[in-house]
Amino acid sequence: MQPPQQPQQPMPPQQPWPQQQWPQQPYPQQPYPQQPYAPPPAKDSGGKTIIIVIAVIVIVIVAVIAAVAAAFYLLAAPVINNATQLRVVMTPDSSNWTVTVLTAPNGLLPSTTYLTILNPTGGTSLARTAFSSLNWPVHHVEFDHQNPLSSQIGTGDQLTIDSVRYVTGSVMQISNSGGILLSQNLQ
């Protein structure tokens, strides 16, 4: 047989945790503790650094290109024909104008240096003709190259121009592929 069972008694209701009583006034806010040194700067992903490096490289490249262009211009300037570098003296006589070269820029060749003569009203008396092609029977102009050791036009070279065909007031123009080097009245 089994022992008699006792009736179960209900368990007393469980009490929730005791609630804390907060004071009526809040605690004063505490300051954060001060660190004895400044914190390290925030880490950068490197984006700004890369942009700065690229900008510096571009600036340096542009500066180098500008310097090379300036150097080339300065070094090439004497080779580039300049109207002030060609100087001549003109001597008239009874039948001709004798034009003697005093100074000439480097690189002036008789085959690529041209003579044009305009009449006093501006019309063309002698069309653009290379010095090397000038001859007295056809043009009434002759080029006399004084230095046979040099292929370039230089000091002492002469143009002899017929003063009957090309009258006083006509304009003599000496040019090359770079433009007019000299423009002077025949007088």
User: pTM for this structure?
Assistant: 0.55
- pLDDT, greater one: 107 or 12: 107
Measured CA to CA in angstroms, residue 170 lies from 95, 97, 101, 126 at distances of 15, 11, 19, 10
Look at residue 53 in the predicted model and tell me its pLDDT.
92
Let me know: does 110 contact 145? Beta carbons within 8 Å: yes
Residue 25 binned pLDDT confidence (cut-offs 50, 70, 90): low
Let me know: does 186 contact 169? Beta carbons within 8 Å: yes
Query: What's the CA gap between 71 and 110, in Å, rounded?
Result: 29
Domain limits, the chain: 46-77, 83-185
Query: What's the CA gap between 96 and 108, in Å, rounded?
Result: 24
Query: What's the CA gap between 31 and 34, in Å, rounded?
Result: 8
Domain 83-185 fold? Immunoglobulin-like (2.60.40)
Look at residue 38 in the predicted model and tell me its pLDDT.
74
Look at residue 105 in the predicted model and tell me its pLDDT.
86
Look at residue 101 in the predicted model and tell me its pLDDT.
92
- Phi/psi region, residue 70 (left: phi>0; alpha: psi -120 to 50; beta: rest), is alpha
Let me know: does 114 contact 175? Beta carbons within 8 Å: yes
Query: The tokens of 149 are what?
Result: 């050791």
| Edge-to-edge strand list for the sheet holding 158-162 | 87-92, 96-103, 158-162, 141-144
- pLDDT, greater one: 75 or 54: 54
For the chain, where are the alpha helices, taking DSSP H only? 47-76, 136-139
